[in-house]
Amino acid sequence: MTHPSLLAPPLTILPLENGARLTRSEFEHRYNTMPKVKKAELIEGVVYIESALKFRSYGKPHTYIMDWLGRYEAATLGVELSDNATIRLDGDNELQPEAILRIEVGGKSHISEDDYVEGAPELIVEITRSSDSSDLHSKQKVYCRNQVQEYLVWRVDEHQFDWFHLKDGDYVQFEPNPDGMICSIVFPGLWLDKSSLLAGDLASVLAGLRQGLATSEHHKFVQQLSSEG
Cα dihedral 98, 181, 194, 207 sign? negative
Residues with Cβ within 8 Å of residue 223, at least 6 apart in sequence? none
Give the tens place of pLDDT for each residue, 115-125: 999 999 999 99
Give the tens place of pLDDT for each residue, 4-25: 555 544 456 778 887 889 989 9
Q: What are the phi and psi torsion angles at 66 (to 5°)?
A: -70, -35
Give the tens place of pLDDT for each residue, 138-147: 899 999 999 9
Contacts by 174-177 with C-beta closer than 8 Å and gap 24+?
none
**Quick one: pLDDT at residue 135?**
60
**Quick one: pLDDT at residue 72?**
98
Q: Which of 182, 58, 177, 66 is nearest to 128 (CA)?
A: 58
**Quick one: pLDDT at residue 64?**
97
Q: Which residue would you say has higher pLDDT here, 203 or 54?
A: 203
**Amino acid at position 162, single letter:** D
Q: Could you state, in order of their start, the residue ranges of all structural domains in the chain?
A: 14-52, 54-228
**Quick one: pLDDT at residue 134?**
60
**Quick one: pLDDT at residue 8?**
46
Contact 35, 20 (CB under 8 A): no
Contact 166, 127 (CB under 8 A): no
Assigned CATH topology for domain 54-228: tt1808, chain A (3.90.1570)
